[in-house]
Structure 1
């Protein structure tokens, strides 16, 4: 299977490599980055996630790509698409997601990379809709979703992987259709 590389003005969304694992471990151990996830990831959990991301890319040609700055070749985090076949109340669907190291926040990288991933999803995969979701309190990711042109679904949902009473259980859902400008 061909492994897609997406180029934007400043970024490259590409398959993962071994050198990505160390900065990815640091990102996943940063409480600021992981504030809206159930827990920080251990080094072995982080490595396993990177390997799963790469496996999806190898099998289907797309997924959560490693993101690097073209000018410096520095790993920034990941951005991409992921199929959610049946785990969520609105499945099957394809979600867009991102996770960037804290030092790269506020530079427009998430918007730029996600715009490239949306174009790929609509143009190459011919998806009719892409969704995004996060814990209700994650105002930064929700702002990215809105800036991408996504619209809040309004119904919200309780994430099935989080137990009743967990402070991150309530999530909001955003959608964008192929007919919406990206």
Structure 2
């Protein structure tokens, strides 16, 4: 049985499974991967995130998916769609985001996966997708540009008030 909801050339996108916990915990615990987030996540916090993603998928039909490299079935991280409701003049909104293991950086996988997720969003009838990243996160901003998103504005993220180094974010959007 095919475990994937959809695939790209090199990647398979699926819902989260209990066997993902160890690998995803390792990714979420990596200081460099988590540089533009509030903090690295513990095993318990990673499990809670996976649970939230499962609920989001059940409720909305999308989430930040578990992503495997098709060739090896290795979990490389997460790429997908989220539902953002934090306080801002552009929420609620559908967001595209990613977090992948350092091992897979600079190989075009995030861009490839994000393009596949935009196509999935289009098939789901989603008309606009936003993406946000701390203004210092040039790698993620570069992916946003590569997948055809346009800079909309910069803003102070309401959930990052206690994290001034990452609070100022760039917001990108694309119409589907």
> Normalising by structure 2, what TM-score?
0.93
Q: How far off its partner does 1:4 sit? A: 7.0
Q: Secondary structure at the match of 2:160?
A: coil
Larger helix percent: 2
RMSD: 1.6
- Superposition deviation, residue 168 in structure 1: 0.8
Aligned residues: 174
1:25 is matched with: 25
Give unpaired runs (5+ residues) of structure 2. Answer: none
What secondary structure is seen at the aligned counterpart in 1 of 2:144? helix
CA distance in 2, matches of 1:105, 1:41: 20
The residue that corresponds to 1:126 in the other structure is 125
* Residue pairs, 1:5-24, within 5 angstroms: 5-24=5-24
**What is the Cα deviation at residue 56 of structure 1?**
1.4
Farther-moved stretch of structure 1 (73-82 vs 49-58):
49-58
Partner of 2:142: 143
Q: 1:14 and 1:65 mapped to 2: Cα distance?
A: 6
Q: Which runs of no fewer than 5 residues in structure 1 stay unpaired?
A: none
Per-residue CA shift, 1:9-54, capped at 9, x if unaligned? 1110001111111011010110110000011111111111111112
Partner SS for 2:66:
strand
Q: For the residues of structure 2 that align with 1:40 and 1:86, how far apart are their CA atoms? A: 21
C-alpha change, 1:161 and 1:126, in structure 2 (3 Å) is: same
SS in 1 for 2:24: helix
Q: Which 4+ runs in 1 deviate beyond 2 A?
A: 58-61, 85-89
> Larger deviation: 158-167 or 32-41?
158-167
The Cα of 1:86 is off from its aligned counterpart by 5.1
With structure 1 as the length reference, what TM-score do the two structures score? 0.90
